[in-house]
């Protein structure tokens, strides 16, 4: 299954142009649910998928079907991710993440849902973050379902592959890097320390469903919110778009801050095309403490 690379916008799907004043007005009323995407983390050095320089223009992420069905696929993923995860783990929250955490602490935001798997919302101080697509800092066994810290797997992979290194050309949002095939061959995999099963990052791959319980929780949070603020997501895939549609159908205002048109524009009151760090820092500054 090839991931959704793009959608075709039409004039009917365009959102009205929003200003920061519009965002201030909605957020000042409180009860806001934030839905964030990869565009929020680009200022931390993690690329997005679908922007002008997004990784999907040159990189097809691992699919669930390939990962579970092919040992060669798992070897390729873990060799690349073994190097790329270190870059993700070293990434620091940017001013956008910090502004979201500040707005939550000041009571303007009721919930934060993120499509990102980098943990930067939590690193900035946000609490109760719902990770729609999971997190790269955890690993799950597909057999016994036990989860464990990524640091534990990293130590085991280092021991199994002493001296493994390669020149990496670029990091991808899913935590892997581009590697030549020769660098992948011979990379040793490790199995679950408890049952010997296949280990997978605790993230939702393309072609895999978000767990139903997590989806229901997100719908409940949308139902409880007064408004939805989308940050840095093209909403190309249904995993995030469905919550925007649900909010709009219920008559809740939806505002989007994203550099470029999104698949959710027609459901939004308006979209502000502005860098996230600048917009969110200014938003926090303009709201009463």
Q: How far apart (Å, rounded) are the C-alpha atoms in residues 220 and 224?
A: 6
- Is 53 annotated as contributing to ligand binding? yes
Tell whether residue 45 is among the known ligand binding residues. yes
Alpha carbons 98 and 104: distance in angstroms, whole number? 10
**Is 218 known to sit in a ligand binding site?**
no
Q: Is 133 a catalytic residue?
A: yes
Is 21 annotated as belonging to a binding site? Answer: no
46 labelled ligand-binding? yes
**Distance (Å, rounded) from C-alpha 150 to C-alpha 203?**
12
116 is in an annotated binding site: yes
Instruction: Please give the backbone phi and psi of residue 38, each rounded to the nearest 5 degrees, phi first.
Output: -60, -25
- 55 in a known ligand binding site: yes
- Spatial CA neighbour of 260 closest among 57, 116, 48, 92: 48
| Catalytic option among 82, 97, 133, 267 | 133
Annotated ligand binding at 42? The verdict is: yes
3-state SS, 146-198, equals CEEEHHHHHHHHHHHCCCCCCCCCCECCCCCECCCHHHHCCCCCCCCCCCCCC
How far apart are alpha carbons 16 and 227 in whole angstroms?
17
Tell me: is residue 175 an annotated ligand-binding position. Answer: no
Q: Is 234 marked as binding a ligand?
A: yes
244 annotated as a binding-site residue: no
**Terminal Cα-to-Cα distance of the chain (whole angstroms):** 48
Chain centroid offset of residue 157 CA: 25
Binding region for Zn(2+): 141, 144, 192, 195
* Residues annotated as catalytic (active site), given as ranges: 133
Binding region for NAD(+): 37-57, 115-118, 232-234, 258-260, 276
């Amino acid at each position: 299954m090839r991931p959704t690379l793009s959608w075709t916008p039409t004039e009917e799907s365009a959102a009205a142009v929003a200003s920061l004043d519009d965002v201030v007005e909605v957020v000042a009323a409180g009860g806001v649910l934030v839905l964030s995407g990869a565009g929020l983390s680009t200022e931390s050095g993690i690329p997005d998928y679908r922007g002008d320089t997004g990784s999907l223009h040159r990189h097809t992420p691992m699919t669930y079907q390939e990962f579970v069905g092919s040992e060669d696929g798992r070897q390729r993923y873990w060799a690349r991710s073994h190097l790329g995860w270190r870059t993700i783990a070293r990434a620091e929250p940017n001013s956008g993440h910090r502004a979201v955490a500040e707005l939550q602490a000041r009571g303007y935001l009721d919930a934060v849902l993120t499509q990102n798997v980098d943990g930067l919302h939590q690193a900035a101080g946000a609490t109760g973050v719902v990770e729609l697509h999971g997190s790269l800092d955890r690993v799950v066994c597909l057999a016994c379902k036990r989860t464990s810290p990524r640091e534990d797997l990293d130590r085991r992979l280092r021991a199994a592959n002493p001296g493994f290194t390669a020149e990496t050309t670029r990091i991808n949002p899913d935590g892997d890097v581009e590697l030549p095939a020769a660098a992948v061959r011979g990379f040793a995999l490790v199995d679950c320390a408890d049952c010997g099963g296949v280990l997978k990052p605790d993230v939702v791959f393309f072609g895999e469903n978000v767990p139903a319980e997590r989806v229901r929780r997100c719908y409940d949070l949308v139902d409880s919110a007064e408004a939805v603020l989308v940050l840095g997501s093209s909403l190309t895939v249904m995993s995030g778009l469905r919550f925007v549609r649900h909010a709009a159908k219920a008559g809740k205002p939806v505002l989007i801050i994203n550099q470029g048109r999104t698949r959710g524009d027609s459901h939004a009151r308006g979209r502000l095309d502005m860098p996230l760090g600048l917009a969110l820092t200014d938003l926090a500054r303009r709201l009463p403490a």
